A = this chain, B = another copy of it.
């Protein structure tokens, strides 16, 4: 790190003053709720083996795995005709796994809604394994600020699936409910990248015809290393996947082996279990959605009432992300943005800028995942208001 550059400007997550309480608005990996952190710390102090040492084939780990899956099923109301699997390789792993499991042949069609960084990357990866048709979500200026219309004309009736990301983290675009396909295309299952919004709103699994949904752990439900993948059993069977599908990505192989075809990320799965238990104690997904609406409204209200001091890129309020609020300062004023980062960092507000290779322009991003409380969001909103008044 260049010693001349203030740590806040290169995404430092350390406290400038150790007595300051840190509030982590990072887009992920993100913090875990304090209660979950305490449970993890306690798990290292209990008698017997630590969780890191449990064999995946021990009855002790089987209990953790069963508990975590049952807890996820209850929290997200996942019907029995879906399998729940913890997969390797993060969301990017699923970018390959989805076409490799759902398209047996390279000539099979798949439709991708591309309206941001993650759907772009998912589409690029899918093109190795199937024939992709893209629904281009760019706006008239060529940017990603919206979700395109899903009209019959854009969706081939033979598509094996329609792929979308329910929350485009980088671009701040969210579908608060899954879109309905046109009547004549309702037979096509949805594949949902829910990496950054899973557990923050209900999913109507059957009504929305969800085929596959995946969520990497490191935003709302855990830490990096395990990805939660929910698969309708229609997509399981001996001849479903492409022969090119690596075993470690093969849904059927892994479901049949009870998630133990190879060693899963045991501790990471245990942490997801703690998170799900916490969500249940906190009132489940309905209460969590209320909180997410409230947290994001606090920030968007400051932006919208700032008389143009703050800007946010998504014009349609119905599509604004509750998870990631991108905002710039006086149209991207560099000096003011740096001052904002440094002064907020001094108050313990961290993670607003990460050194991502995905251009986010002048935008900072406040990510409001499960560990960020309403009080935390109010603290940031208050800081933003004070900063605007000063400048």
Contact = CB atoms under 8 A, between A and B. Distances in A.
A22 B128 CA distance: 49
Given A247-B92, A263-B216, A54 B225 contact: no
Interface string A12-50: 111100100010101111111000010011001101111
Given A52-B32, A96-B248, A268 B44 contact: no
Interface stretch (A135-143, A204-212, A350-358): A350-358
A262 to B, nearest CB: 4
A95 interface: yes
A109 B21 CA distance: 58
Interface in A339-382: 351, 354-357, 371
A90 B90 contact: no
B29 A37 contact: no
State the majority secondary structure of interface residues on A.
Answer: loop
Interface in A145-188: none
Contacts of A224: 56, 263-267
A49 B128 CA distance: 39
A31 B13 contact: no
A12 B225 contact: no
Given A49-B24, A53-B30, A225-B265, A246 B96 contact: yes
A7 interface: yes
18 contacts: A11-B57, A13-B54, A13-B55, A15-B48, A28-B55, A30-B55, A32-B53, A40-B52, A41-B41, A52-B223, A89-B89, A89-B249, A90-B248, A125-B247, A129-B244, A225-B268, A246-B246, A265-B265
